[in-house]
Amino acid sequence: MSDQEPRSYVVRTFGCQMNDHDSERISGLLDADGLLAVEEEDDADVVVLNTCCIRENADNKLYGNLGMLKRWKDAREGRQIVVSGCLAQKDRDIVQKRAPWVDVVMGTHNVHRAAELLETARIDGPLTEILEEAVLDDHAMFPSALPAKRVTSYDAWVTIQIGCDNSCAFCIVPSVRGSEISRPYDDIVSEVRALADQGVTEVTLLGQNVNSYGRDLQLDKRRAGEDVSARPLFSELLREVGTVAGIKRVRFTSPHPKDMRPETFAVMAEVPTICEHLHYPLQSGSDRLLAIMHRGYNAERYLEKLHQARQLIPDLAISTDIIVGFPGETEEDFVRTLEVSAEADYDYAYTFMFSPREGTEAATMEDQFVDPAVVADRFARLRVVVEHSAVIRHEARIGRIEDVLIEGPSRRNPEVYQARTRQNKVVHFRPKNAIRAGSYGLVEITEAAPHHLRGILREVTSDPSHKVRIPVASM
C-alpha cells in the first residue's frame, strides 16, 4: 500500500456529558482535517485529553496521565498531545509549565479551533489558547455546520490489522508500525454488527496490508496444533462482514498485489454487498525496480491477477498507486511503467513523485536519485496515460443508472451534491430538494471527467438511519 496514510487521533474524555459532546466536536473537526480516529494511543499520532476539573483528584490524574503520555510521545516522531476542557481552562499556563511536552492547551471555548491549533503547534511549537467566552461563528455551531460525512457515521473505517511484515524500500511503515498483528476475527465482526445497529451501512476494512489479514492468527493456531482451514482468513472475513444485516457496502484498503488470492476475488464476485472496486498498487512497471523495491511480484504476475479480477468480478473498477522517479529509475524502467499502466487500464491512479523518507532504504540511495526535472517530466507523461484510461472508462458509464451513496452538498457549491458509486467513483448532481447524507439513490450518468462523473438524480432509494454521534472513548 501507499505510505501516504492519514494521521490518526484518539480523544479521551473525562467527566460529564458536556465533555462528551465537546469530544464529539473535536473528533469531528479532526476528521474534517483528514485525521483518522483510532481506538488506542499506540495507533495514534494525536492524543486529546478532554479534561474535567470537577472530580476529586482531577489535577493529579491529569498530570499522571501526561507523565505516561510523555513516553508515548517520545516513542514516535510527530506525535502530539492536546489538553482541552475545564481543567485546561482552569490551569491555563500551568499545564505547559508542569508538562512542557504538551503541544496544545485549549479551553472550553476553543473547541472549534482544535484542528487549527494542532496544525499551528506542529509548525510553531507548543501553544496555549484560552478564550474567555464562546465564539459564535459557523464552526462553533458544529456539527451541523459541517458536511455530514465528517461528523456522522453512515460509513465507518474498521481497522482489522496493524503493522506490516513487508519491507518496501520506500516505506517507513514497517519500522514505525512493527510486525503485522491481526485483530481477532470475532471482534471485527462484532464491531461491524454494532456499527450496523447504529445505522452504519458502509464499512471499509483497513490494514497496511489488508489482504494478508489473519496469517499470524492462523500461524499461531497451527503452532498450537489446531486444525486450520486452508482458506485465507481475509476472504472468510470479507464474506462474513458482507453478510451482516444492515451493511450495504463493504470496501477494503489497501491490499498488496503479492498477497492477492483467487478466494478474495471469488468472494467479491459472490457477495453482493462487496463493492466492485479494487485498489491495486503497482508502484512501478519495471521488474528491475520492483525487485529493488522488494515488492514481491513482477509486472506479468501483477497484470495476470488484474485480468483475473476483471474476468471474475463484473464491472470492477481498479485504482492504483505509482511512484515516479524511484532511485535509479531509467527511461527504460519508466517506459515499462507507462506500458503496464496502459495495459492495466486503470479507473484512477494516485501518482507520486519519489521523495526520500528518512529511515527508509530508498533514502540511502542518494547516489541514484533521479534529476527532479526528469522526474517532473515523467510524472506529466504518466498522468496523460492514466487520465486517458480514466476518461475512457468514465465515458463508458454515460447513460447508465448508478446506485450511489449520497455524501451531501459539496463544499464549494451547496447546490451540487456529491455521491459515490459502488466503484468508488465520485458523482456530482443537483437535487431538487435537500437530501440527508447517508441516503442511497439512483443517478443517471450524463457526463464524464478524469476524476469524477456528473449525473441526474432519478430517485432516492433509501433514507439513512445512523445516529449523529461519533463514538468517543470515555474515561
Q: Which chain residues interact with ligand SF4 by CB under 6 A?
A: 1, 3, 164, 166, 168, 171, 173-174, 208-209, 256
Q: Judged by CB, which is closer to ligand SF4: 29, or 171?
A: 171
Q: Which of 213, 210, 273 is nearest to 240 (CA)?
A: 273
> Backbone dihedral region of 345: left (phi > 0), alpha (psi from -120 to 50 degrees) or beta?
left
Q: Which of 112, 50, 109, 54 is nearest to 81 (CA)?
A: 50
Q: Judged by CB, which is closer to ligand SF4: 206, or 435?
A: 206
Q: Where are the alpha helices (DSSP H) in 224-330?
A: 233-242, 262-270, 287-292, 299-312
CA-CA distance, 277 to 393, in Å (whole number)?
Answer: 13
CB of 299 to ligand SF4, least distance (A): 17
Q: Judged by CB, which is closer to ligand SF4: 256, or 466?
A: 256
CB of 54 to ligand SF4, least distance (A): 43
Q: Judged by CB, which is closer to ligand SF4: 3, or 407?
A: 3
Q: Provide the CA 440 distance to its chain's centre, in angstroms.
A: 22
CB of 174 to ligand SF4, least distance (A): 5
- Record the cell numbers describing residue 389, joined without a space: 484510461
Tell me how far CA of residue 34 lies from CA of 9, 31, 148, 254, in angstroms.
Answer: 10, 5, 14, 17
CB of 24 to ligand SF4, least distance (A): 31
CA-CA distance, 410 to 408, in Å (whole number)?
Answer: 6
Q: Judged by CB, which is closer to ligand SF4: 114, or 171?
A: 171
Is the Cβ–Cβ distance between 41 and 47 less than 8 Å? yes
Q: Judged by CB, which is closer to ligand SF4: 362, or 453?
A: 362
CB of 234 to ligand SF4, least distance (A): 14
Strand bridging mode 161-162 / 181-182 = antiparallel
CB of 212 to ligand SF4, least distance (A): 9
Contacts of 26 (CB under 8 A, 6+ apart): 11, 48, 50, 84, 111, 114
Q: Judged by CB, which is closer to ligand SF4: 176, or 401?
A: 176
CB of 166 to ligand SF4, least distance (A): 4
CA-CA distance, 332 to 338, in Å (whole number)?
Answer: 10
